[in-house]
Amino acid sequence: MGANISDTSGRMSGLEAMPENCVALVLMHMDPTEICKLAGVNRLFRDAASADFIWESKLPCNYQFLMDKVFEFDEKKRAMVNLRKKDVYARLCRRNPLNGISKEFWLDKKTGGLSMAISWKALTITGIDDRRYWNHIFTEDSRFQTIAYLYQTWWLEVNGELKFQFPEGRYSVFFRLHLGKPSKRLGRRVCNTEQVHGWDIKPVRFQLTTSDNQHTESKCFLGSPGNWVNYYVGDFTIGSSGSNSLMKLKFSLTQIDCTHTKGGLCLDSVLIQPSSLANKAK
């Protein structure tokens, strides 16, 4: 009966009686999305969830490098910003352009893993400026708003390079491709596959090479017309000693067998993800 009588002593009871640092220590063992949910329990949890040491443990070891990239072309704004670690994490989880609008990076909200996307505009593509073979299409299907569409070619070669500082871990590289020409009709997405040909004769070859001599190759026949597919290129690993230095990547897509033409291919971007996230997506 006494348990139902309200506490008139003015002292806190239940969760509110817990020390804030104890709550923060518990929150540190949860993932960021869980921390944000618990921050809504009461003021104690909200204050504890803002502790810098919690969010610093969730940030990648090179978060200062990443923030420098966020403000790379805005020295005035960088000098004025003094963010708490919680706000740093939130800022890095946004889409952050890199060197203009053709590349961007972000952190996964739940795991803090670093991902990157590289537009076709940042790649070297054989004949890309010749409108007899390629066209540039505006579309909502791409995070970069445009894709490159191949009408027909004998020789397909796409090369890309990237120099960046990655946190320790294993990463997977993909080319995001689509067979068929996407468009909209009466507000609905449609796909014209009339020009799709040649991809079932010989496979496409993918390659990945790193500046520390990691190298992978894979081959794959392109299929699934009308759907965007992330075609696996390979994995690379960043050790603890390499997480504070720049890694140079070279990646390519080729189908250079000139015995037949191929066409009807859309090229959107190259995607780099932590392998753990990529495996879950598969």
Side-by-side strand order, sheet with 215-220: 124-125, 156-164, 247-255, 204-210, 215-220
Angle at 51 between CA 90 and CA 44, to 5 degrees: 110
The distance of Cα 160 from the centroid of its chain, to the nearest Å, equals 16
pTM: 0.87
Say how many Å lie between the first and final Cα of the chain, rounded. 56
- The owner of tokens 């496409």 is 204
The mean pLDDT value of the chain amounts to 88
260 phi, psi to nearest 5 deg: -155, 155
Query: Each residue of 205-259: pLDDT tens digit?
Result: 999 999 999 999 999 999 999 999 999 999 999 998 767 789 999 999 999 999 9
Q: How many other β-carbons are positioned within 10 Å of the β-carbon of residue 183?
A: 12
- Environment class of residue 9 by beta-carbon count within 10 Å: exposed (0-12), middle (13-18) or buried (19+)? exposed
Of the pLDDT bands very low, low, confident and very high (cuts 50, 70, 90), residue 189 is confident
pLDDT of residue 39: 78
Q: Which sequence spans correspond to the domains of the chain?
A: 12-57, 114-281
Over 80: is that where the pLDDT of 18 sits? no
% pLDDT > 70, the chain: 88
Query: Each residue of 194-207: pLDDT tens digit?
Result: 999 999 999 999 99
162 forms bridges with which residues in the sheet? Answer: 249
pLDDT of residue 16: 61
Query: Each residue of 134-154: pLDDT tens digit?
Result: 999 999 999 999 999 999 999
- Alpha-carbon distance of 84 to 98, in angstroms, equals 23
Q: Please report, for residues 32, 56, 96, 192, 271, the alpha-carbon distance to residue 52 in angstroms, rounded to integers and kept in the order given.
A: 13, 6, 22, 52, 31
- Alpha-carbon distance of 169 to 16, in angstroms, equals 39
In sequence order, the 6+-apart residues with CB closer than 8 A to the CB of 178 are 141, 147, 226, 227, 228, 229, 265, 266, 268
CATH of 114-281, one of 2.60.120.260, 3.30.70.20, 2.40.160.40, 2.60.40.1890: 2.60.120.260
pLDDT of residue 63: 94
Nearest of 158, 226, 257, 224 to residue 148 by alpha carbon: 158
Q: How many other β-carbons are positioned within 10 Å of the β-carbon of residue 69?
A: 19
32 phi, psi to nearest 5 deg: -55, -40
Over 80: is that where the pLDDT of 14 sits? no
pLDDT of residue 23: 72
Q: Are 148 and 182 in contact (CB under 8 A)?
A: no
Rounded mean pLDDT, 176-180: 97
- Alpha-carbon distance of 192 to 194, in angstroms, equals 6
Query: Each residue of 150-167: pLDDT tens digit?
Result: 999 999 999 999 999 999
Query: Each residue of 87-115: pLDDT tens digit?
Result: 999 999 999 999 878 999 999 999 999 99
Q: Please report, for residues 52, 97, 115, 157, 231, the alpha-carbon distance to residue 251 in angstroms, rounded to integers and kept in the order given.
A: 38, 20, 16, 11, 12
pLDDT of residue 272: 98
Over 60: is that where the pLDDT of 6 sits? no
